Amino acid sequence: MNNQNLENRNEHEREEMLNNMNNQGYQSNRYQYATKQQNTFKMLSLVFGLLAFFSCMFVVTTFVFGGLSVIFAILSKTSTERFSSSAIGGIASSIAGMVCVFVLMIYSYILITTPEYREILNKTYEQMYGQSFDELLEDAQNGTLDPYSLQPK
């Protein structure tokens, strides 16, 4: 009876060990998949952050790329880790692109609304296109401006 009891115990331990090995393998594969996905999100954050920075002349694309960069950076963070350097780089470059857009918008507003700058702008446009900036805006409002040549139709 002792011998049979020992065999049953060994068989039970063997089954338990096989079950543990299978469970660990499943968890390992799941961990590897999650790590690959987080690495992808980190790199996407960096890529979209750089796109946001280098497209700062285009307002809409900067905010779209910047927003995607921040979202991917947040998705790449786990509860136990800090943000990775590539995710931080993506966030920083997207913020820099958005700040650049705001600076360009403020500069454009100042350029158009200040009378001294407006006069310089009018003279420059007159030299380049044969009409002042004010005339160009008037033609654009009337719908008589050719968008490709910036000349009246």
Question: Which pLDDT value is given to residue 6?
Answer: 47
DSSP classification of residue 130: S
Segment 113-121 long-range contacts (CB within 8 Å, at least 24 positions apart): none
Asked if the model's pLDDT at residue 4 lies above 60, the reply is no
Confidence of residue 21 (pLDDT cuts 50, 70, 90): low
Give residue 68's pLDDT band: very low, low, confident or very high (50, 70, 90).
Answer: very high
What pTM did the predictor assign? 0.62
* Rounded mean pLDDT, 66-94: 87
Give dist(CA 1, CA 19) in Å, integer: 27
Distances, alpha carbon 131 to alpha carbons 13, 56, 72, 126, in Å: 92, 29, 47, 4
Q: Where are the domains of the chain?
A: 2-101, 114-153
Give the residue-averaged pLDDT of 6-11: 57
Q: What are φ and ψ of residue 150, in 5° steps?
A: 55, 30
User: How would you label 106-139 residue by residue, b for 16+ Cβ within 10 Å and e otherwise?
Assistant: eeeeeeeeeeeeeeebbeebeeeeebbbebbeeb
Mean local confidence (pLDDT), 86-96 = 92
**pLDDT above 90 coverage of the chain, percent:** 35
The bridge status of strand 145-146 relative to strand 151-152 is antiparallel
Mean per-residue pLDDT, 27-36: 54
pLDDT band at 59 (very low <50, low <70, confident <90, very high): confident
